[in-house]
């Protein structure tokens, strides 16, 4: 592969019970970049990456690994500078891809809008064939055939506050979709820069859910909507507990987004893009602090993931195996994820084109790739 370096991780590099778990599992890692999708597979203890990127020269802003069916399905939101955005799917772990004859996601003519990109692809927690897509312009789409065709969720598109939504620096994107395994009618989304919205009736009605989240860039810093929410994650043990990374501010909600509490104390900066909850351990979440909105490099120019194990009451830096010298690799909102294992594999990529992995809940890290294009999104899943 010209211009990039992909490295393998061997079993002897991992000790004790972690090595035993790794030896029995296969993990798929999908890395969406500014110039294509890179796919890695860990068999036993070693990582292997496919020789060439898929969707060469396309920006891949969203990826999903849907493991709910009899065989896994991969979904990718590609964006060709020539052909425009599209959603592709693969049923053979990325070796071949299908693009529908008609665009899977498109705006109806009466909306007067056109699709800029697909920011999010989310397999629903409680409905086996349902996949949600979040787009720019900010809209939510629902698929009932595992992502082959999508329908616009009109009540959110026609929300009475929409004409007051203002695009953020990265555009007006619906970048977060959270579904609830207890109730398929409950869906939470986040939009830059409109904030968090919730439905409890399957999308028929939507309410802003931003109480306590500050919009420091507005004359009124506590509006009902208009916050620049960067990402939201759901706690593993308490589905009503959510973690939110804002444009300045890290927050927790204990009532499914009804209200939010600041939990940023102890972090070197409360600006950042990503937040990920541990897939099994309650009260545990991860962020990657950035210096500032005007200085978008790692906080203090150090490559550090921060973890809370007590729902944000305290934070600890995770640095073992990460670069110790000055570092400038920004981690974007969807460029960190877990693989669902326990202990959890954690992965992140940055705008330097580096990809790092941890097999032990973030306690230690190892570089898997370097010199890739800008990393836009990362997804991983245990396959066996």
Mean pLDDT of the residues in the chain: 93
What residues are paired with 366 via a beta bridge?
Answer: 357
Residue 7 lies in a domain: no
Q: Report yes or no on 242 lying in a domain.
A: yes
Domain range enclosing 230: 22-380
Is 316 within a domain? yes
Residues in contact with 287: Cβ distance below 8 Å, sequence separation at least 6, in sequence order: 245, 250, 267, 272, 274, 275, 305, 306, 315
User: Per-residue pLDDT tens for 197-212?
Assistant: 999 999 999 999 999 9
**Cβ atoms 29, 8 nearer than 8 A:** no
- Reported as a pLDDT band with limits 50, 70 and 90, residue 343 is very high
327 within a domain of the structure (yes/no):
yes
pLDDT at 10 over 60: no
Sheet holding 366-370, edge to edge: 5-6, 366-370, 355-358, 346-349, 336-338
Q: Is residue 177 part of a domain?
A: yes
Which burial class, exposed, middle or buried, applies to 2 when counting CB atoms under 10 A from its CB (0-12, 13-18, 19+)? exposed
| Long-range contacts, stretch 304-309, CB < 8 angstroms, 24+ apart | 304/268, 305/336, 305/346, 305/348, 305/362, 305/365, 306/267, 307/361, 307/362, 308/263, 308/283, 308/284, 309/281, 309/283, 309/284
Task: Examine the pLDDT at 316 and tell me if it is beyond 70.
Answer: yes
Mean pLDDT of 308-332: 98
The per-residue pLDDT for range 141-167, each reduced to its tens digit, is 999 999 999 999 999 999 999 999 988
Instruction: Flag whether 324 is in a domain.
Output: yes
Any domain includes 17: no
Weakest-pLDDT range from 12-16, 78-82, 85-89 = 12-16
Write down the pLDDT at residue 170.
Answer: 81
CATH number of the domain within which 140 lies: 2.130.10.10
> Does the pLDDT at position 15 exceed 70?
no
Read off the pLDDT band of 13 (50, 70, 90): very low
pLDDT in tens, 242-253: 999 999 999 999
pLDDT at 24: 53
pLDDT at 5: 53
Number of domains composing the chain: 1
**Residue 16, pLDDT score:** 40
Evaluate whether residue 185 is within a structural domain.
yes
Query: Could you give the percent of the chain with pLDDT greater than 90?
Result: 89
């Amino acid at each position: 592969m010209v211009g990039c370096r992909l490295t393998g991780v061997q079993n002897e590099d991992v000790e004790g019970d972690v090595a035993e778990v790794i030896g029995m599992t296969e993990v798929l890692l999908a890395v969406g970049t500014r110039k294509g999708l890179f796919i890695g597979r860990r068999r036993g203890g070693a990582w292997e990456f496919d020789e060439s990127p898929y969707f060469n020269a396309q920006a891949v802003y969203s990826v999903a690994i849907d493991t709910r069916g009899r065989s896994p399905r991969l979904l990718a939101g590609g964006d060709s500078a020539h052909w425009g955005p599209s959603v592709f799917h693969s049923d053979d772990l990325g070796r071949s891809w299908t693009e529908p004859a008609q665009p899977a996601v498109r705006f109806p003519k009466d909306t007067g809008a056109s699709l800029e990109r697909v920011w999010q692809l989310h397999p629903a927690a409680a409905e086996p064939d349902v996949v949600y897509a979040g787009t720019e312009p900010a809209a939510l789409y629902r698929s009932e055939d595992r992502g082959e065709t999508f329908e616009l969720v009109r009540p959110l598109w026609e929300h009475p506050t929409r004409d007051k939504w203002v695009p953020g620096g990265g555009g007006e994107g619906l970048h977060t979709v959270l579904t609830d395994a207890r109730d398929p009618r409950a869906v939470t989304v986040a939009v830059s820069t409109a904030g968090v919205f919730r439905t409890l009736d399957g999308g028929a009605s939507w309410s802003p859910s931003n109480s306590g989240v500050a919009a420091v860039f507005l004359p009124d810093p506590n509006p009902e909507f208009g916050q620049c929410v960067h990402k939201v994650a759901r706690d593993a043990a308490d589905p009503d507990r959510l973690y939110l990374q804002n444009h300045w501010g890290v927050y927790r909600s204990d009532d499914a987004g009804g209200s939010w509490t600041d939990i940023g104390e102890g972090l070197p900066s409360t600006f950042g893009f990503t937040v990920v909850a541990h897939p099994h351990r309650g009260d545990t979440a991860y962020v990657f602090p950035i210096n500032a909105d005007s200085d978008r490099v790692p906080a203090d120019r150090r490559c550090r993931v921060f973890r809370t194990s007590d729902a944000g009451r305290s934070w600890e830096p995770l640095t073992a195996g990460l670069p110790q010298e000055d570092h400038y690799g920004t981690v974007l909102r969807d460029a960190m994820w877990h693989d669902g294992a326990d202990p959890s594999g954690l992965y992140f990529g940055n705008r330097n084109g580096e990809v790092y992995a941890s097999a032990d809940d973030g306690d230690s890290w190892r570089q898997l790739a370097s010199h890739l294009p800008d990393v836009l999104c990362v997804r991983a899943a245990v396959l066996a």
